[in-house]
Structure 1
């Protein structure tokens, strides 16, 4: 399948590459099908590109790359729809957004992905983690697209 995106142009997407977020994401409930793209300039950064709304793409990173002791505690029922066999089968990423002081990581509402099952879900952490952890753009992180 091909999609025309506002950020990356025309992309060929294999059905096996599509992640399904049955409940969408906060603020993007209608966007249920996504694909993860590598950033050509920054190996720490990935892009979650919507299949349903090709103008929607979100920068994502592993939270542990910037917060080494990051731990996610969520209610068991929040992970049940992902059909994970083991918690270690999950990949956790957080959304990166622009902020006047740099870039911000949303540690409170990460995305949990069952890579093998191609399912994802945005969850709310039980712990009071920051919604905006500011990273300076003169370091490792820069949004390039």
Structure 2
């Protein structure tokens, strides 16, 4: 099937490449199907809505940037995403891209958690205050 995307133009995707957010994303309850597309020559990806081309989020693996990052999933999330083994879990963090790029922040309090086997996903809002919603992506940069 072909979809229109915010950053990649019109592309062809396979149904097995789609992830289902049963409750949508916060602020986007009707957006339930997404694909993850790479941004070439970066460690960034696009979480792209299948339904609405303008609904797209820049994401990255928080573990690559913040080696001490840790997220403990609640029993509710484990059940909702049908997670049985840790190997099926993929975690991304949503970026707020700013100009200049070195002012970009990453939301570590609400990661996107994916069950890669079942193709289910959820943005999980943690209660862990040791990580910020506006953590500078580049260490040493002020988040403004």
Structure 2 residue runs of 5 or longer lacking an equivalent are 140-144
Counterpart position of 2:60: 61
> What secondary structure sits across from 1:83 in the alignment?
coil
Tell me the matched-pair count. 137
What is the root-mean-square deviation of aligned Cα atoms in Å? 1.9
The equivalent position to 2:135 in structure 1, one of 128, 133, 136, is 133
User: Alpha-carbon deviation of 1:99?
Assistant: 3.5
**Preserved contact between residue 95 and residue 106 of structure 1 (Cα < 8 Å):** yes
Counterpart position of 1:26: 26
TM-score (ref. length: structure 1): 0.87
Deviations 1:106-134 (A, max 9, x none): 00000110011111011111311200011
**Cα distance in 2 between the residues matched to 1:92 and 1:6:** 22
Counterpart position of 1:115: 116
**Preserved contact between residue 24 and residue 30 of structure 1 (Cα < 8 Å):** yes
The correspondence of residues 1-145 of structure 1 with structure 2, limited to 5 A, is: 1-42=1-42, 44-99=43-98, 102-128=103-129, 129-136=131-138
Structure 1 residue runs of 5 or longer lacking an equivalent are 138-145
**Higher RCO (CA < 8 A, seq sep 6+):** 1
**Cα distance in 2 between the residues matched to 1:88 and 1:4:** 31
Deviations 1:24-66 (A, max 9, x none): 1112111110000011131x11111100211111111111111
TM-score (ref. length: structure 2): 0.87
**Cα distance in 2 between the residues matched to 1:73 and 1:32:** 24
4+ long deviations beyond 3 Å: none
